[in-house]
Structure 1
Amino acid sequence: MTNDGRAPGARWPGLSEPEARRRLARDGPNVLPDEAPRTVWRLIFDVVKEPMFLLLLTAAGLYLAFGDLREALTLLGFVVVIIVITVVQEGRTARALEALRDLSSPRALVLRDGVVRTVPGRELVVGDVIRVAEGDRVPADAILREGTVLTVDESLLTGESVAVTKTPSPDAERVGPPGGDGGALYSGTLVVSGRGVAEVLATGARSELGRIGASLRDVDQTRTPLQREVDVVVKRMAALGIGLSVSLFVAQGLLEGEWLDAALAGITLAMALLPEELPVVLTVFLALGAWRIAKSRVLTRRVTSVETLGAVHVLCTDKTGTLTQNRMVIRRLVTDAADLDLGAAPEELPEAVHGIVEYGILACPRDPFDPMEKAFLELGARALDGTEHLHPRW
């Protein structure tokens, strides 16, 4: 490449700036579509319409009608606690998801008018020619047109931690499914090694990542088993309370003739039958569950999801990040003069194996993404620190 950024002899000069702007206006930015965030008032409305919450408000109103201000304020305090827990949980998760969404639109090296420029990933359009190299996150679905053989981490789409090989496909016109060994590159995946030139074929919602997001948005939001069971309990308790209260009101009124006292007796019985502690206890325990799994770096957008997870009998998950860590560790060093098991070896390596570790480190880039190269650097930092075999500036 020349000093002015031009790539002489490049087969893929890319789009012109006017054409890129026209396509951007036609197709929209290269971002994943996002639902409008739920406002605080919407969150409060969703909480208030729950039968459990209505039960709590009814109990508070009855206590207030009887002049028991202390009990009424206590229940209204529980109402505020439930609303605050819901709003805080939703806000924390929304901020975390927004940060993750920013990762899906990285900056890109793009060829416009034959000149290499750095542009925000959201400004990429179909037909743009981009340059990708080790450590880059692919900004859009594309086809590798020329360059070296790439290895790409597609675990974001497939769940498979083993990087797949990508070979240049100068004449391909469409991308295949993820996990293949052709020239298809997918938005959000990570280039582990190699470099090349790729042509963008799909952006935003039309990318593979966008289609996955669209399928998730189409999933119906059904009520959880616990919510359905609580709805039944609340309705039955309400029917029972109303029935018994009316019966007591009518019976006492007919027998004693004191209809005001009968009404007060019926309301008192209804208050005794209302399980006003139930919504508070359920909300607090579900919030504690969300807090506990958040410590394991699991996002919970709605507190009720904790109850759904608790009802799962079989959980199918990829091994990476659960049983394995997608990391490599060097366990054994073998040379002509030594055969060393690092599991039982001391922290300081014998001189006979210093050479193989040194050469392995020299063959690695300074900030590698490949797990094997990371393993060599970690071994060198642990066992060769302070020796002449470690060359951090090389």
Structure 2
Amino acid sequence: MKHHVPPERWSSPSDPSRGLDRAEVEARRARFGRNDMFASRRAGWREVLRESARDPMPWFLLGISLLFALLGDHTEAVVLGLALLPILGMDAYLHRRSRASVEGLASRLAMRSRVWRDGHLVEVDTVDLVPGDLVRVEASEYLPADGVIVDGGHLQLDESALTGESLPCRKHPWTGAMPEDAEIEDRHWGAAGTRLLTGSLQLRVVDTGARTLYGGIVRLAQTGPRQRTPLQQALSSLVTALVAVAVLMCVALALARWYQGHGLLDAVVSALTLAVAALPEEFPVVLTAFLGVGVWRLARHGALVQRAVAVENIGRVSAICTDKTGTLTEGRLQLRTLQPASDVDEPALLRVAARASREDSADPMDTAILERAGGAGGERAATFPFTEKARREVAVFVLEDGQFEAVAKGAPETVLAMCTLSSEEREVWSARAGEWAARGYKVIACARRALPAWPGGEPDREYAFAGLLGFADPLREGVAEAVAETRQAGIRVLMITGDHPLTARAIAVEAGLGGAAPTVRLGEDLVRDLRRDGVAALADLDAVARCLPMHKLEIVRALQAEGEIVAVTGDGVNDVPALQAADIGIAMGRRGTRTASEVAPVVLLDDNFGTLVEAIAEGRQLFGNLKLSFAYLLMIHMPLVLTAAFVPWLGLPLLYLPIHVVWLELIIHPTALLAFQQLPTRARLQRVRRTTRLRFFDAREWAVVIGGGLALTALVGVGYAYSLESSGSAVHARSMALLVLVVASAAVTLALGRGRTRAARIVPLAALASAIVLLTIPTLAAALQLQLLHADDWMLALAGGVLIGAVAALFHRSHRAVRAS
């Protein structure tokens, strides 16, 4: 990567080492503004309330709650009132998430900076820096702006805030004059929000505020979308349609009863009874309960859900943009392979490498070597650290006999040139180092030299070659199997990393992405093609290397534009924009930053890609369970509402009184809430048909639901009419209709839930038991204005229940057909 340095942003004082003077600072601040990365709109609680007021669901629940309160059903009113809390809490969470992301981003920036002004090193507020300032940064401090490193030695920067890669990046100063419109290579560049690990540096500021890479991340994070989820939108549309139909039916029934001469009171009671039966208040309550259960079920698999509504999207994921480091890999550098020279064994090679490493170094390569070798040992006389120019590290040790030994490690081409090897031997070892590098290894060479005497200075020739070491971040156990499972289930997996393309390709091969020849693109090239060719640029893509946060965000949006439901994994503040834009953002719990964990609605406690796959399977099962519950509600509510409306319309006596509706609701509510939510997860991910719009049911599933509801409506109506004609008693006919509904409710529950859980067995049996108690005990029957039924009535009701249960069982077959299509 190269960074453009416009001439107007480069300092031009007579003595650059003195920094800017006061007049230059004021002029530049007036021209370029303050180094403020957080100047943007702030979302307050009034905005949260305004957004919540646009959602019809809270108003619907509030209205129904008031209606139940007016009718005297205070328990139902309180339950619906409480259901408002999680819906309003979702908007409050989004508000808190936005604030948390900004607070976390701010924590990675220095509030005060040391800068040269008028020839003196002074401390100023970081927001007061301007392009051209000369800033001094010490080890463990964060860089306050973007610019060119002009002084320093042995520099290593932690750039994970921008790239997501945990390994340090070596930097070295730019020397010489700055040409006009220069393009500075990344090894000379320092960026705001990155942390200096070793050494000290001086940075000539080029970009400040929103122009910095970090400022771009902040801007994207603060403007992240906060719209309702697809499931909320789909449920809102469904409930709105049902409410509209219910209101029209209630008005029509009231007018019909009044026109038939039953009086105004009868008309109002009829309409209110129908309203209690028809208004779909169960749907948001069931959704809230199921999402709560989903949070608990996912937590058992190591996925902590911080925003319950996010559970809905996990099961619908069709594309995963996953980090490499720490998610697919273990997130730590390991010595994976080594090849000693012909006259050296492995312990001797490790001893040379360990002595050429420093125990106080923050370099993970040194750490990996020392862990494998068990320490360096010996008395160190001198160290000549790694530099970009030398590309090697040399140490001199004092031996027990008073002689000396020089050891070296570094870039293979550098170390091989220091050794006494023939040209053929040097070519063989160079070729082997190239092969390892192509496989994604970070390769170094080691050498040693015996020194009878050491006059001082760095020994740089006549070394004996010791061998090669290959380092890599190993793939996590089970990742390849998890990737294969997701791909077989039709889920696209795209690895996005800030690492080198060779490393990305090697990990992609090992993880099973793209087979033996995965397609890897550079982030900058891919984004350019996305802007030119659209989503076609993503065809057959397996991995993206050297990817910046804004690149990752554009990739996510491109996938969403293609109709994908995108999950994004991330662990750093660099991932915040993509985590917010994704349909489901997933943070890494172990190695992730506070910002990523607070922004993402889901946190993987073990940082494992396999856990994500388990969470997707659990989410799909949860959505399937929710569909079963909604199918039950519709199949039972449809005959209840239609018969409650059409029987009185025909001039017949009221089919249901308010007490009967209460009895049925006491059966319907627990069944919808308990009978389906704990159905077990399938052993493996199933392939599902991708849709661009969330729908509760496919056309075939709708056919089963509507067909079953109409069939049950016909059975209830026929049973009522038959019993009314044969007995001449409206009370007997009403008892028959209620028995048919209760038996059908139990049959539908058993058919949909298949008795796979205790609740799926107990709930329908409890419903049947309530019918037996209320319709066989004369006192209770009379209190509910019901009558005892004959044996043939029970047989007809049971036969009808079996028939409706058989229709409901077709829902599973249509559901499997949808999955396989």
Indicate the residue corresponding to 2:60 in structure 1: 55
Report how many aligned residue pairs link the two structures.
360
Report the counterpart of residue 365 of structure 2 in structure 1. 372
Give the counterpart letter for 1:371 in structure 2: P
2:113 aligns to what SS in structure 1?
A: strand
Trace 1:224-263 onto structure 2 (pairs within 5 A).
Answer: 224-263=229-268
Query: Is the 1:140–1:202 Cα contact (8 Å) retained in structure 2?
Result: yes
Contact 1:133 1:194 in 2 (8 A): yes
Deviations 1:257-302 (A, max 9, x none): 3122212221221222222232234345556767868x979996x7
Which residue is 2:142 aligned to? 137
CA contact (8 A) 1:51 1:234 kept: no
Q: What amino acid does structure 2 have at the position aligned with 1:359?
A: R
Counterpart pick for 2:36 among 30, 34, 43: 30
Kindly provide the CA deviation profile for residues 26-83 of structure 1, in whole angstroms up to 9, marking residues without a partner as x: 61243333431332x5434433442222221121011011122222122212223543
Q: Name the CA distance, whole Å, in 1 between partners of 2:202 and 2:111.
A: 17
CA distance in 2, matches of 1:227, 1:377: 54
Q: Distance in 2 between matches of 1:34 and 1:174?
A: 30
The 1:272–1:158 alpha-carbon spacing in structure 2 relative to 1, beyond 3 Å, is: same
Structure-2 residue corresponding to 1:3:
none
Q: Quick check: 1:141–1:201 contact (8 Å CA) kept in 2?
A: yes
Alpha-carbon shift at residue 255 of structure 1 (Å) = 1.6
What residue is the counterpart of 1:359 in the other structure? Answer: 355
**Is the CA contact (8 Å cut-off) linking 1:149 and 1:168 kept in structure 2?**
no
The 2-side partners of 1:284 and 1:96 are apart by 28
Shift of 1:203: 1.0
Which amino acid letter does the alignment assign opposite residue 256 of structure 2? A
Please report how far the alpha carbon of residue 375 of structure 1 lies from its aligned counterpart in structure 2 after TM superposition. 2.8
| Structure 2 counterpart of 1:346 | none
Mapping for residues 94-113 of structure 1, pairs under 5 Å: 94-95=99-100, 97-105=102-110, 107-113=112-118
Instruction: Return closer, same or farther for 1:297/1:108 CA change in 2, 3 Å cut-off.
Output: farther
Q: Single out whichever of 221-230 and 261-270 deviates more from structure 2.
A: 221-230
Which residue of structure 1 lines up, in the alignment, with residue 190 of structure 2?
A: 185
Q: Quick check: 1:171 aligned with 2:166?
A: no
- For residue 17 of structure 2, give the secondary structure of its aligned residue in structure 1: coil
The partner residue of 1:339 within 335, 341, 346 is 346
Q: Displacement of 1:181 after TM fit?
A: 3.5
What is residue 349 of structure 1 aligned with on the other side?
none
Equivalent residue of 1:257, what SS? coil
In structure 1, list runs of 5 or more residues that go unmatched. Answer: 1-9, 341-351
2:52 and 2:293 mapped to 1: Cα distance?
A: 18
CA spacing shift, 1:287–1:253, aligned 2, 3 Å: same
Q: How far is 1:354 from its partner?
A: 8.6
Distance 1:111 1:31, change over 3 A: same
Q: Which residue of 1 aligns with 2:92?
A: 87
Distance across 1 between alignment mates of 2:85 and 2:226? 25
Q: Distance in 2 between matches of 1:57 and 1:90?
A: 23
* Structure-2 separation of matches of 1:191 and 1:173: 28
Q: Which amino acid aligns with 1:271?
A: V
- What displacement does 1:188 show? 1.8
Distance 1:210 1:62 in 2: 51
Q: Structure 1, residues 139-195: CA drift from partner, whole Å, max 9, x if none?
A: 111122344475545444345566365551540566759xx4453322223445554
TM-score by length of 2: 0.38
1:268 to 270, 273, 280: 273
Aligned partners of 2:155 and 2:171 also within 8 Å: yes
Seq. identity, %: 31
Tell me which residue corresponds to 1:5. Answer: none
Equivalences for residues 181-330 of structure 1 within 5 A: 181=186, 183-191=188-196, 195-215=200-220, 221-283=226-288, 285-286=290-291, 304-308=309-313, 310-330=315-335
SS of the counterpart of 2:317? coil
Partner of 2:127: 122
**SS at structure 2 position matched to 1:260:** helix
Q: Give the Cα–Cα distance (whole angstroms) in 2 for the partners of residues 390 and 90 of structure 1.
A: 59
Cα offset, 1:235, TM superposition: 1.6
> 1:69, 1:181 → 2: CA distance?
67
Q: Give CA-to-partner distance per residue, 1:214-238, whole Å, 9 cap, x none.
A: 3565666554322331122012101
Between Structure 1 and Structure 2, whose CA radius of gyration is higher?
2
Match of residue 71 from structure 1 = 76
- Distance in 2, Cα, partners of 1:45 & 1:364: 58
Map of 1:151-170 to 2, 5 A cutoff?
151-159=156-164, 163=169, 165=171, 167-168=173-174, 170=177
Deviations along 1:285-326, one digit per CA (max 9) or x if unpaired, are: 556767868x979996x7655544543301123312311244
- Preserved CA contact (<8 Å) 1:85 1:287: no
Alpha-carbon separation, structure 2, partners of 1:374 and 1:119: 37
**Bigger proportion of residues as helix:** 2
Tell me, yes or no, if the aligned pair for 1:151 and 1:194 is still in contact at 8 Å. Answer: yes
Alpha-carbon contact 2:243-2:280 (below 8 Å) kept: no
SS in 2 for 1:256: coil
Residue identity opposite 1:121 in structure 2: T
Q: Could you say if the C-alpha distance between residues 72 and 46 of structure 1 is closer, same or farther in structure 2, counting changes exceeding 3 Å?
A: same
- Cα offsets for 1:196-249 (capped at 9, x unmatched): 322111111122222344356566655432233112201210121112212211
3-state DSSP of counterpart to 1:209: helix
Aligned partners of 1:378, 1:313: CA distance in 2, in Å?
41
In the alignment, the residues of structure 2 paired with residue 50 and residue 390 of structure 1 have an alpha-carbon distance, to the nearest angstrom, of: 73
Cα RMSD after superposing both structures: 4.1
Letter in 2 for 1:141: D
Q: Name the CA distance, whole Å, in 2 between partners of 1:181 and 1:216.
A: 24
The residue type paired with residue 38 of structure 2 is: L
Please tell me whether the aligned partners of residues 143 and 183 of structure 1 are also in contact (alpha carbons under 8 angstroms): yes
Amino acid at match of 2:277: A
Alpha-carbon distance in structure 2 between the residues aligned to 1:260 and 1:37: 50
Contact 2:155 2:196 in 1 (8 A): yes
